[in-house]
Amino acid sequence: MKQNPESLTIMDQTHAQAEFTEADRKGIYKAIFNRRDVRGQFTSEPVDDDVLSRILYAAHHAPSVGYMQPSNFLVVKSDEVKRRIHSAFVEAHEEAKAMFSDEKRELYSSLKLEGILESPINICITCDRGRTGPTVIDRTQLKAMDLYSSVCCTEFLVGCSG
Residues 89-108 interacting with a copy of itself (rule: CB under 8 A): 92, 95-96, 99-101, 104, 108
50 Cβ partners below 8 Å, 6+ apart? 4, 6
- CA dist list (Å): 88 to 3, 81, 121, 131: 32, 11, 17, 27
20 binds a copy of itself (CB under 8 A): yes
Q: Does the protein bind a copy of itself through residue 84 (CB under 8 A)?
A: no
Distance of alpha carbon 33 from alpha carbon 31, whole angstroms: 6
For a copy of itself, which residue of 48, 49, 128, 138 counts as binding (CB under 8 A)? Answer: 138
Q: Which of 161, 85, 156 is nearest to 118 (CA)?
A: 85
Part in contact with a copy of itself (CB under 8 A); list of ranges 13-21, 42-50, 70-78, 124-132: 13-21
**Residue of the chain from 5, 26, 49, 120 that contacts a copy of itself (CB under 8 A):** 26
Q: Tell whether the torsion through CA atoms of 101, 106, 112 and 114 is positive or negative.
A: positive
CB-based burial label for 102 (10 Å; 0-12, 13-18, 19+): exposed
Nearer to a copy of itself, 77 or 90 (CB): 90
- Nearest approach in angstroms of CB 80 to a copy of itself is 24
Q: Does 110 sit near a copy of itself (CB under 8 A)?
A: no
Q: Do the Cβ atoms of 129 and 69 come closer than 8 Å? A: no
Binding interface with a copy of itself (CB under 8 A): 10-11, 13-18, 20-21, 23-35, 37, 58, 61-63, 92, 95-96, 99-101, 104, 108, 111, 113, 135, 137-138, 140-141, 144, 147-148, 151-152, 155-156, 159-160, 162
